[in-house]
Structure 1
Amino acid sequence: MIPTLILIGVLFGRWWRTALVGSALGWPIMLVVTGVTGVEPGLVGASGLAILNTGVGVLVHQSVRWAVREVRRSPTPRSGT
């Protein structure tokens, strides 16, 4: 499931604040609803890990976005003809 959070960060990296808040709230809720864990203090740690994993995906998204912008901004080389 952790790679899923990275994928969410990659897909929704443009809206990074929403992606981080959504994973911070959604992951612990999903753990409780599916019966993996109960409501306990460990959910805070799960929320923190969800933020870190989604953050990695957001960083990947933002890095690719920055690289594409740099390539588009660079002048095209002229041919010698």
Structure 2
Amino acid sequence: MIPTLVLFGLVFGRWWRSALVAAAAGWPLLLVVTGDAPAGPGLLAGAALAVVNTGVGVLVHQGLRLAVGRARRSAGG
């Protein structure tokens, strides 16, 4: 579960808002559809954890983007 969401954040980190919203809505939906969790208030915790885990991937993605951009600017100018 955690590696899947971190990977999701890494891949879609460019569109971080959409990635976080998709994780918050999509992960609990996936849990209910597959029968891994019953629908109920416990899914709020699942949604929060999905956002946190996806956020880690997004932060790594954005950090790498920033580092690459700085490296390109310093090498080119």
Please say whether Structure 1 and Structure 2 have the same fold, judged by a TM-score greater than 0.5: yes
- Which of structures 1 and 2 has the bigger CA Rg? 1
Q: Whole-Å Cα distance in 1 between the matches of residues 66 and 45 of structure 2?
A: 31
| Runs of 4+ residues over 2 Å off in structure 1 | none
Shift of residue 49, structure 1, vs aligned partner: 0.2
Unaligned runs of 5+ residues in structure 1 are 77-81
What's the CA shift string for 1:16-38, capped at 9, x where partnerless?
A: 00000000000000000000111
TM-score normalised to the size of structure 2? 0.95
In structure 2, the residue matched to 1:53 is: 53
Question: Identity of aligned pairs, percent?
Answer: 61
Q: Whole-Å Cα distance in 2 between the matches of residues 53 and 17 of structure 1?
A: 14
TM-score normalised to the size of structure 1? 0.90
Q: Identify, as 1 or 2, the structure richer in helix.
A: 2
In structure 1, the residue matched to 2:13 is: 13
Q: What is the one-letter code of the residue matched to 1:4?
A: T
Q: Whole-Å Cα distance in 2 between the matches of residues 39 and 69 of structure 1?
A: 43
Q: What is the one-letter code of the residue matched to 1:71?
A: A
Q: Whole-Å Cα distance in 2 between the matches of residues 10 and 60 of structure 1?
A: 7
The root-mean-square deviation of aligned C-alpha atoms, in Å, is 1.3
The alignment covers a number of residue pairs equal to 77
